[in-house]
Amino acid sequence: MVKDKVLIVTGAGSGIGLTTAHVLAGAGAKVVVADINIGAAQGVANEIRDAGGEAAAVMVDVADEASVAAMVAFAVDTYGRLDGAHNNAGIEMASKPLHELTADEWGRVVHIDLTGVFYCLKHQFLAMKDSGGGAIVNTASSSGIRATMNSAEYTSAKHGVVGLTKCAAIDGAPLGIRVNAICPGLIMTPMAKDRLMNDPGFSVALEGIRQRHVIGRFGEPKEIADAVMWLLSDQSTFMTGAPMLVDGGFAI
C-alpha cells in the first residue's frame, strides 16, 4: 500500500503518531519520525530500524513555521523527495466552559492544532509539487464534526482543520496532491490509560463518553493508524477533501 513512499509523521513520539509510524514502516514506507521531543522521536526511529524498517528522526515544533520548514527539508535531504505526510501533532483542550477560557488558553490550542497544520501543509505542498504529488492526512477529531461541552478552543480548532483540509484538497488537486482528514473518537493511548488509572474523576467522565460511542468502547491507536495508511496509499486515489470518521459512532 505504501511501500517505498517517503512519509512524514508529526507527533510520532507517542500515541497515535507512534503507532502510525510503526504501521507505515511495517508496510515498507520510509518514515520521517517527527516530534517536539527529539529523544522520543529517536526512540521510535530506533524501534523501527530494529524491526527491519527504514526511519529517520527529526525534531519539529509545529507552532514554529521555520521548524516545520526544516522538518520538510530534512525529509527531502534524507530520502530525496516527499510523497506524503500524517500531520498529527497537537495538544488537548483546557476542559473549561467558554467564559472561563483565557486568551492564552484559546490561542495556544488554536495555534498548535490548526495553524500548525497550515504550516505543515504549506511546506509539504512546496516539496511535493515538484516530485509528482502524493497524499496528506491531517488529524482532526470527532470534535471537528460535532461539539462537546467545555471544548470551545479544541472544537473550533478541529473544525478548522476539517475546513483547511477541504481548501487544501482544492488547491492541491492541480499539483497532484490529495488531502484528507482523519477524525478519531476517544482513543486509548498510553497517556489516556495512565490518566484513567490515576485520576478517578477522569474515569467517571470517561465512562459517560464511552456510552456515547455506539460501538460501546474506545478506539485503539492501530485502528486510526490503519485508516491513515489507507488514506496515504494508492488504494484511495479518488478520495480527497474528506473528513473520515473513525470514532465508534460517537458523532452520530
Q: Which residues are catalytic?
A: 154
Expressed in percent and rounded to 5, the helix, strand and coil fractions of the chain are 50, 15, 30
Reading the block at residue 9, the C-alpha cell is 509523521
CA–CA separation, 66 vs 221, rounded Å? 29
CA–CA separation, 228 vs 209, rounded Å? 24
CA–CA separation, 34 vs 103, rounded Å? 28
Reading the block at residue 43, the C-alpha cell is 526512540
Q: What contacts 96, CB < 8 A, 6 or more positions away?
A: 105, 150
CA–CA separation, 170 vs 207, rounded Å? 39
Distances (CA, A) of 115 to 40, 158, 170: 23, 11, 18
Reading the block at residue 177, the C-alpha cell is 496532491
Q: Is 167 helix (H, G, I), strand (E, B) or coil?
A: helix
CB atoms within 10 A of CB 105: 16
